[in-house]
Copies of this chain bind each other. A is one copy, B any other.
Amino acid sequence: MERLENQIVQLLQNKDIRPTQQRIEIMKYLMEHRVHPTADMIYTALKKNMPTFSKTTVYNTLKLLQEKGALAALATVEDQVRYDSNLVPHGHFKCTQCGTLYDLEIPEGFPKQTTIDGHRVFEYQILAKGLCRHCHMQELS
């Protein structure tokens, strides 16, 4: 899609990021694969079509995109950092069985306050853990 690539170029430029080929590809991958990939997933996928593509570039780029506010990094306990191009506030649900990381609506009634105990809060991350729909159904059968 020409469309998406143009959007990405815009987005990067708006955030003062020079839109190089590699950066566009990484951003595009994240926007098209909303399963919160790890750096390694991105590398492995893109390497196929870009033979000289390097892991260093993935790490460099992810770091830059985070700093400039184009991406969010997600904390999960068990494994590596995961990345999310969806900047609309939302939570995550991690299935402890299959490892899938789902998006979650921010639960109704969640406070929007920006100060708690005197601390200034800029960002919330909500991580729920449990058994996902699919694994749960399998367990019953």
Contacts and interface: CB of A to CB of B under 8 A. Distances in A.
A73 B121 CA distance: 22
A119 B131 contact: yes
A133 B121 CA distance: 10
Interface residues of A, number: 38
Contact of A120 (B81, B123, B126, B136): B136
A133 B107 contact: no
Number of copies: 2
B127 A127 contact: yes
Interface string A91-122: 00101100000101101111101101111111
Nearest to A108: B111
A32 B50 CA distance: 52
Interface in A73-99: 73-77, 81, 93, 95-96
10 contacts: A73-B77, A93-B121, A96-B122, A108-B111, A110-B110, A121-B128, A122-B131, A124-B127, A125-B127, A125-B128
